[in-house]
């Protein structure tokens, strides 16, 4: 599924690089943001096909960012997949209630990630 744009919002450089390498190997264009603020600035000018987002971000946290994106008319239809190490009971429910389409836990499964991305891009085409 080449020529699709995936935004990766992740403050950890190693995790961001891992996702970039995995997704580029599958033919995706990767747009990177290290903070929620950076993601919002990018989203003013670009509309990715899907967003992979860490929940624990400096500044604007992931749940707040998800709500802002889902509350913006021209962005609300972008699928968002939470990629997080949150393991507390009830966290997955909070993440899904905020507007996420799916939840992927860390450490990242390098074979599963591109399949999930493809599934949610196809679902929203």
Distance CA 125, CA 108 (A): 25
Structural domains in the chain (count): 1
Annotate 1-58 with DSSP letters as a single string: --S-EEEEE-S-HHHHHHHHHHHHHTT-EEEEESSHHHHHHHHTT---SEEEE-SS-S
Q: What's the confidence (pLDDT) of residue 19?
A: 98
- Structural domain includes residue 97: yes
| Stated pTM of the model | 0.94
- Structural domain includes residue 82: yes
Listed residue (43, 28, 29, 36) closest to 11, CA to CA: 36
Q: What's the confidence (pLDDT) of residue 125?
A: 80
Q: What's the confidence (pLDDT) of residue 86?
A: 65
Q: What's the confidence (pLDDT) of residue 87?
A: 63
- Structural domain includes residue 33: yes
Q: What's the confidence (pLDDT) of residue 2?
A: 63
- Structural domain includes residue 28: yes
pLDDT tens, the chain, 125 aa long: 568 999 999 999 999 999 999 999 999 999 999 999 999 999 999 999 999 999 999 999 999 999 999 999 999 999 999 998 866 777 888 889 999 999 898 899 999 999 999 999 998 88
Domain that holds residue 26: 5-119
CA atoms within 13 A on the CB side of 20: 13
Distance CA 22, CA 91 (A): 26
Supply the CATH number for residue 29's domain.
3.40.50.2300
- Structural domain includes residue 125: no
């Amino acid at each position: 599924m080449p020529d699709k744009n995936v935004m990766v919002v992740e403050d950890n450089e190693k995790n961001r690089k891992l996702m970039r390498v995995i997704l580029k190997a599958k033919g995706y264009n990767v747009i990177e943001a290290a903070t929620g603020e950076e993601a919002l600035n990018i989203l003013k000018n670009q509309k990715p096909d899907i967003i992979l987002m860490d929940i624990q971000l400096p500044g604007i946290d992931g749940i707040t960012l998800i709500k802002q994106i889902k509350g913006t008319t021209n962005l609300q239809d972008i699928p968002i997949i939470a990629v997080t190490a949150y393991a507390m009971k009830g966290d997955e429910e909070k993440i899904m209630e905020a507007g996420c389409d799916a939840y992927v836990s860390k450490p990242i499964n390098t074979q599963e990630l591109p399949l999930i991305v493809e599934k949610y891009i196809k679902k929203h085409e």
